[in-house]
Structure 1
Amino acid sequence: MLKPRDIRTAEDARGIVEERSLSHVKVGLFDNDGVLRGKYMSRDKFFSSLEHGFSFCDVVLGWDVKDQLYDNARYTGWHTGYPDAPVRILPHSCRELPFEESTLLFLAEFDQHAEAVCPRATLRRVVEKCREAGFDPLASLEYEFFLFDETPDSAREKGFRNLKPFTPDWFGYSVIRNSVHAELYREILDLAERMDFPIEGLHTETGPGVLEAAIAVDGAEAAADKAGLFKTFIKVLAQRRGLMATFMAKWSGDYPGQSGHIHLSLRDRDSGKSAFHDPGQPRNISAVQRRFLAGQQRLMPELLSLLAPTVNSYRRLVPGFWAPTDATWGVENRTAALRVIPGSDKSQRTEYRLGAADANPYLALAAALGSGLYGVLQQWEPGEPVDGNAYALEHPRELALPRTLWESAQRLKTSEAARELFGNAFVEHFAASREWEEREYRRHVGDWELDRYFEII
């Protein structure tokens, strides 16, 4: 009997659908913002698509999270008529859908000309560059997310104000909380196992109703798939239980923001050993890891929009709230943007702590991995590590991070490294989408402005 994790080829995918006598499967692909878009596809259409691909309206690459159309994108828009774009199904991405008996999910990615701006394909191109350089990249992502005792309807009725968290008060690493709500925790863990994004650790974080999950390590492409599916189906599970989950970078000024930390390492393709681990060097930091770290540090300000892609992302990047404000690094230092974690051949790695939970995992990982690889190829060396509280220290001006999404988009557009790593088409398209996001924000008047200016000014 075929299992989803055994599926590798189009023939395997056809076989498992036939074996289960499925009339339809679900097919999905991730858009610019990391939102899974998809549909049910009939058996015959699916079989045909496995061999010849299928078409998906390219509007999903030309609109924002609220389905509002970009007015500044060259790739697609009213000027192109929003045509269909070619898509290929990825047989090895087959997953069970626990909430839909016997139903299967397959991921897809844009093909041919659309591949140039496809988030998943962008990461794949970076992974291919790593392999050409002699490395296999491994990654794992960990996410913080808040749960609320709300529904999509109740949250909107309240105007997203005065929402009731799933649990009260600040209580990190609470055994009381995870024991009282053991059924929910078990559902999350079981869902992750069944859908092949297994969780290594799950615990309460600091804040009311906030949890943190660390997803198991895998190859970089697979790790991004797991992260994207985790974010999607945590929301599904929550809403099926009458709850809501949010991965907003910062939903309240009263609580810390929500991180999406990225753990990365490289393995040498010839020897199979860690390219980061050198027991003959201080803290086991190899020359490759130093240069990888240097690339991440130097390019962080230029690639920030891929890791902090929303206006809200920048609410999190303030001192003292467990989020970095400069491109710093340190050894086992959680106040730095980059944390070196010394260990064995298996565990030596870097943690890219800048990332927020709202980032598209494919693009966040492409930025973290691509910048590191760039540093290795350029043989850069990092600056001095941070010792102590990075927030309280003065740092070189070139390490300062952009403070707004607009500024980040401009830095991306002018980054030669970004264009080398991701291609001109991607850089132009994604930067335009972030400019659109910032302009949409500016069009709206917020509560703070009304309270501050309405009567007095």
Structure 2
Amino acid sequence: MMEARDVKNTEQARQIVEERGLKHVKVGVFDIDGVMRGKYMSREKFFSALDNGFGFCDVVLGWDVKDQLYDNAKYTGWHTGYPDASVRILPDSCRELPLEDNTLFFLAEFSNQAEDICPRSVLRRVIKKAKDMGLEIFSGFEYEFFVFNETAQSVREKKYQNLQPLTPGEFGYSVIRNTVESDTYNDILNLSEEMDFNIEGLHEETGPGVLEAALTYSDALSSADKASLFKTFTKIALQKKGKIATFMARWSEDYPGQSGHIHVSVKDSNGGALFYDKNEKNNMSEMMAHFIAGQQKLMPEFLAMIAPTINSYRRLIPGYWAPTEASVGIDNRTCAIRIIPGNEKSQRLEYRIAAADANPYIILAAVIASGLWGVENKLAIDSMVKGNAYDQHFPDHLKLLSNLWDATQKLKSSDVARDYFGSAFVDHYVASREWEDREFRKHISQWELNRYFEII
């Protein structure tokens, strides 16, 4: 019988469904915020969709994480009547769905007009640009996430306060914690193998109930697929066990934020390591220096794609393991970009500004595009940090904006962003971030009430 990950084309997708006698399959697509939206699809409908695609209400590209409709998007809205968008199924994404009995899962992506703003398609276009330059991009995501002995109901009843973490206290890399909670760890590890988003390392981080998972590196598009699937199905697996995880950039003022660091390397079409040069200091090739220089210079410009939520900016403060400037250093974890010297196989960079809340497709598109821009323009790294980056002074052009609105306006005016991602995507993404900021401004926080209600 055919294995799910052996499926490569539409014929084999039909074959595996027929072999297993499935009446339904599950299909999912990721929206602007990196949230999976999907449905069960009958066998007959699925077979038809393999050849012809299918229609999916384009509202999933026109609402936020709370299903509130954007009022400022050109692509879709009340003015268009929310028609169906064309979607194509990706046969080679076929996966076992061990959380359900005898079910297969397939990824899909938007096509035709919707392809211009589809996050996965944006990344795919950037990867094609790299290939046209003779470059093959490889990446791997790392995620920190907090786990609680709570349910989707209980966190709401508690108003997200006084939650019980999976484990108490600060105990980073604890063998005691991960052995006591081995059932939870093994559930995640087994799921990652069965669904092919393999984890090469999983450990207790410093903080109550916080874990860190390092996903195995792969080609860039597969890497983003795996990161997106990891976030989605890890949440599902934990909820089915009466637990809940958050991938917010920072969920509590008492603890540092949650990273989503990205490791990147580049090879030529023959598999040669283009970031490695044994004759250069730190084995850093000229191309690697150009690539990093582009990332450094465009980081403030692309920040809204890297830090996409209001909460993202709660993490970007000094002393909390997150950078506040577009800093670069050799094996320096206080920097936004950490150069990791190694051999031909291990020479790479770590993009440390990335947080757990970013859409993997969109942030990886930003990471790669900025690097390619640096290579095309043969840029030089602005400065190299030694010691604590938080204690050092940086020129204004390397400072990161402190809120989503300002970051979004910078992206809006970016000619480089429009060149690499297309104006249709930039305009739609900017509209979605402007909406997010306006929704936040309507909110009256507990902090404001505590501070002003009686006294002011």
TM-score bucket of the superposed structures, by smaller chain: over 0.9
Matched, 1:321 2:316: no
Equivalent residue letter for 2:266: L
Alignment of structure 1 residues 19-168 onto 2, 5 Å: 19-168=19-168
In structure 2, C-alpha distance between the alignment counterparts of 1:405 and 1:455, rounded to whole Å: 30
Structure 1 residue 383 displacement after superposition? 1.2
Residue in structure 1 matched with residue 394 of structure 2 by the alignment: 395
Equivalent residue letter for 2:316: L
Q: Could you report, residue by residue, the CA deviation over 1:333-372 in whole angstroms, capped at 9, with x for unpaired residues?
A: 0000000011111111111000100000000111111111
Structure 1 residue 58 displacement after superposition? 0.5
Tell me the SS of whatever aligns to 2:300: helix
Equivalent residue letter for 2:419: E
In structure 1, C-alpha distance between the alignment counterparts of 2:378 and 2:390, rounded to whole Å: 28
Tell me the SS of whatever aligns to 2:299: helix
Residue in structure 2 matched with residue 267 of structure 1 by the alignment: 267
In structure 2, C-alpha distance between the alignment counterparts of 1:374 and 1:94, rounded to whole Å: 34
Residue in structure 1 matched with residue 344 of structure 2 by the alignment: 345
Residue in structure 2 matched with residue 375 of structure 1 by the alignment: 374
Residue in structure 2 matched with residue 286 of structure 1 by the alignment: 285
Residue in structure 1 matched with residue 439 of structure 2 by the alignment: 440
Structure 1 residue 53 displacement after superposition? 0.5
In structure 2, C-alpha distance between the alignment counterparts of 1:48 and 1:347, rounded to whole Å: 44
Q: Could you report, residue by residue, the CA deviation over 1:137-187 in whole angstroms, capped at 9, with x for unpaired residues?
A: 000000000001111111101111111111110110000001111111111
Q: Could you report, residue by residue, the CA deviation over 1:190-245 in whole angstroms, capped at 9, with x for unpaired residues?
A: 00000000000000101000000000001100000000000001110111111110
Q: Could you report, residue by residue, the CA deviation over 1:43-64 in whole angstroms, capped at 9, with x for unpaired residues?
A: 0110110011111000000000
Structure 1 residue 428 displacement after superposition? 0.5
In structure 2, C-alpha distance between the alignment counterparts of 1:302 and 1:384, rounded to whole Å: 18
In structure 2, C-alpha distance between the alignment counterparts of 1:415 and 1:109, rounded to whole Å: 26
In structure 2, C-alpha distance between the alignment counterparts of 1:190 and 1:177, rounded to whole Å: 18
Residue in structure 2 matched with residue 216 of structure 1 by the alignment: 216
Equivalent residue letter for 1:158: K
Residue in structure 2 matched with residue 454 of structure 1 by the alignment: 453
Matched, 1:242 2:252: no
Tell me the SS of whatever aligns to 2:201: strand
User: Where does structure 1 differ by over 2 angstroms across 4 or more consecutive aligned residues?
Assistant: none
In structure 1, C-alpha distance between the alignment counterparts of 2:241 and 2:102, rounded to whole Å: 21
Residue in structure 2 matched with residue 256 of structure 1 by the alignment: 256
Q: Could you report, residue by residue, the CA deviation over 1:43-90 in whole angstroms, capped at 9, with x for unpaired residues?
A: 011011001111100000000000000011101001111110100000
In structure 1, C-alpha distance between the alignment counterparts of 2:12 and 2:280, rounded to whole Å: 46
Residue in structure 2 matched with residue 423 of structure 1 by the alignment: 422
Tell me the SS of whatever aligns to 2:113: helix
Residue in structure 2 matched with residue 412 of structure 1 by the alignment: 411
Equivalent residue letter for 2:417: A
Structure 1 residue 101 displacement after superposition? 1.6
Equivalent residue letter for 2:442: R
In structure 1, C-alpha distance between the alignment counterparts of 2:379 and 2:204, rounded to whole Å: 39
In structure 1, C-alpha distance between the alignment counterparts of 2:213 and 2:124, rounded to whole Å: 25
Q: Could you report, residue by residue, the CA deviation over 1:380-439 in whole angstroms, capped at 9, with x for unpaired residues?
A: 111121000000000111000011000111011011110111000000000110000000
Residue in structure 1 matched with residue 299 of structure 2 by the alignment: 300
Among all aligned residue pairs of Structure 1 and Structure 2, give the percentage whose two residues are the same amino acid: 61
Tell me the SS of whatever aligns to 1:301: coil
In structure 2, C-alpha distance between the alignment counterparts of 1:299 and 1:7, rounded to whole Å: 39
Tell me the SS of whatever aligns to 1:347: coil
In structure 2, C-alpha distance between the alignment counterparts of 1:333 and 1:4, rounded to whole Å: 41
Matched, 1:206 2:206: yes
Unaligned runs of 5+ in 2: none
Residue in structure 2 matched with residue 276 of structure 1 by the alignment: 275
Tell me the SS of whatever aligns to 2:302: helix
Q: Could you report, residue by residue, the CA deviation over 1:261-307 in whole angstroms, capped at 9, with x for unpaired residues?
A: 001111011x3211101111111100110000001000000111111
Equivalent residue letter for 1:180: V
In structure 1, C-alpha distance between the alignment counterparts of 2:151 and 2:102, rounded to whole Å: 27
In structure 2, C-alpha distance between the alignment counterparts of 1:247 and 1:92, rounded to whole Å: 27
Equivalent residue letter for 1:350: L
Structure 1 residue 5 displacement after superposition? 1.2
TM-score (norm 1): 0.99
In structure 2, C-alpha distance between the alignment counterparts of 1:229 and 1:278, rounded to whole Å: 35
Tell me the SS of whatever aligns to 1:212: strand
Equivalent residue letter for 1:332: D
Tell me the SS of whatever aligns to 1:280: coil
In structure 1, C-alpha distance between the alignment counterparts of 2:33 and 2:47, rounded to whole Å: 29
In structure 1, C-alpha distance between the alignment counterparts of 2:21 and 2:347, rounded to whole Å: 46
Equivalent residue letter for 2:410: R
Tell me the SS of whatever aligns to 1:40: strand
In structure 2, C-alpha distance between the alignment counterparts of 1:443 and 1:323, rounded to whole Å: 28
Tell me the SS of whatever aligns to 1:302: coil
Equivalent residue letter for 2:374: G
Q: Alignment length, in residue pairs? A: 456
Tell me the SS of whatever aligns to 1:260: coil
In structure 1, C-alpha distance between the alignment counterparts of 2:416 and 2:330, rounded to whole Å: 26
